[in-house]
Amino acid sequence: MLPKVPVQQKSIEQYRGIVGDDVLERLYSLAAKLKGARVVNINSTAHGGGVAEMLYSLVPLFGSLGLQSEWRLIEADQDFFTITKFMHNALQGMDMLITDEMKAKYIDTNRENAQLFDGAYDFVIVHDPQPCAMITELKETIARKAKWIWRCHIDTTYAEDEAWDFLEPFIEHYDAAIFTMDDYIKSPLKIPLAFIPPSIDPLSAKNIIPEKRVQSDIARRYGVDENRPIMLQVSRFDPWKDPLGLVDCYRLVKKEHPDVQLIYLASMADDDPEGWHYYQKTSAYVEGDPDIFLLSNQQGIGNVEVSAFQAMATVVLQKSLREGFGLTVTEGMWKRKPVVAGKVGGICLQIDDGLDGFLVCSIEEAAEKVNLLLSSHATCQRIGDLGHEKVRSRFLTTRHIGDYLELFIRLMDQVEG
């Protein structure tokens, strides 16, 4: 069997006070049509990145609504994850060479994991490229009788032709595919599609703001002055997150606000060997600036610390050059922080430029907006309040679950029809 990820139980009733009665009654109504349905999510890691974060909430909440819900991981070596990182970058538009040997390794690893896949399910949700090819090895098994759904968290609009042409035949075996936005698809697919933005869990440790005393303790632990302005970015060390451009933005801001600090929080994920390279590159680029803090789970940064620093931040940034969605944008908005983010991908779904955040296209523009916010507490508060309400109505876990239930019902109705 594929390894199973243990999750803590959650009750959908805990969200009633946040989203209201109408939202929960709709979920109960949808779930009643699927009572007892067996659902499994499959991805490549239980730690690091937005996919794992979402699954820790979605999986138990499906169970709370009467579905049988599991989460399982594929098993692979470091060479495989290096190859899939190449694929990930190529699917986002980077010019990457994917050799025949790399493709063979990818297919072989998926075949090995397919042989470990066992059990009868009604719905199988496969996340991102890493396990995508498993389905081709399960043609006549009991597992293949399920409805298989491929969930792509990547913006493949500008995907390199070779990478997309390699992956597309595997995708076409699925019963449906989910993308974040309707223009994220490199070329038309012949299977049913759904467009479901990601979400955050307002009751997760990462989104419950710690007490002020705890925030102060965390700031002291890492040498941050909580009484000075803080620019914060939370993301992997990744070229698409533009860590060097973020440092350049900070340096421009510091000319006008010399007391500003920059904090970059990252999670070094199991399936992202490239992360260490970009950490070292960024560390060298900051040139020992005592007001720049590069922190990760390697220094004890966990969900509580992330939430505390988001609460302390004056401005949250997401200086992305490509972005499937950007849950760290959502988190910042939920904590009533003004967000300055790249005008790319799913970030544009979240922010109405100038209303509940700022969308920027250059380092200089990002610095200009940060300077504006650091100069006006009232502007920070107004934008933060509007961003919080946007997330409450559109980007919480409860909306996400409803979208999934609607897709399950649609696929079930196709079978019965």
- pLDDT, tens only, 348-368: 999 999 999 999 999 999 999
**177 & 97 share domain:** yes
**172 & 222 share domain:** no
**262 & 118 share domain:** no
Decide if 2 is inside a domain: no
DSSP-assigned letters across all residues of 192-260: -EEE----B-TTSTTTSPPPHHHHHHHHHHTT--TTS-EEEEE--S-GGG-HHHHHHHHHHHHHH-TT-
Decide if 291 is inside a domain: yes
Decide if 126 is inside a domain: yes
| Sign, CA torsion 398/54/297/1 | positive
Decide if 168 is inside a domain: yes
Give dist(CA 188, CA 307) in Å, integer: 39
pLDDT average, residue stretch 241-267 = 97
**165 & 227 share domain:** no
- Whether 98 and 90 have beta carbons less than 8 Å apart is answered as yes
**110 & 225 share domain:** no
- Whether 264 and 243 have beta carbons less than 8 Å apart is answered as yes
Give dist(CA 62, CA 375) in Å, integer: 45
**257 & 363 share domain:** yes
Residue 121 has pLDDT above 70, yes or no: yes
**Any idea which residue has 């390697």 for tokens?**
298
**147 & 187 share domain:** yes
Decide if 194 is inside a domain: yes
Decide if 3 is inside a domain: no
**78 & 158 share domain:** yes
CATH number at residue 308: 3.40.50.2000
pLDDT at 138: 86
**404 & 380 share domain:** no
pLDDT average, residue stretch 171-183 = 95
Helix (H, G, I), strand (E, B) or coil at 172: coil
pLDDT at 273: 65
Helix (H, G, I), strand (E, B) or coil at 44: coil
Residue 289 has pLDDT above 90, yes or no: yes
**32 & 115 share domain:** yes
- Whether 340 and 369 have beta carbons less than 8 Å apart is answered as yes
**72 & 162 share domain:** yes
Q: Residue 17: give the domain boundaries.
A: 12-199+396-412
> Kind and range of the H or E element at 323?
none
Residue 134 has pLDDT above 90, yes or no: yes
Decide if 7 is inside a domain: no
Assign 327 a pLDDT band (cuts: 50, 70, 90).
very high
Average pLDDT, the chain: 94
Number of domains present in the structure of the chain: 2
pLDDT average, residue stretch 109-121 = 93
Largest CA distance in the chain: 66
Give dist(CA 266, CA 280) in Å, integer: 13
Give dist(CA 318, CA 316) in Å, integer: 7
pLDDT average, residue stretch 109-130 = 95
Residue 84 has pLDDT above 70, yes or no: yes
Decide if 206 is inside a domain: no
**330 & 402 share domain:** no
CA-atom Rg of the chain in angstroms: 21
Give dist(CA 163, CA 169) in Å, integer: 11
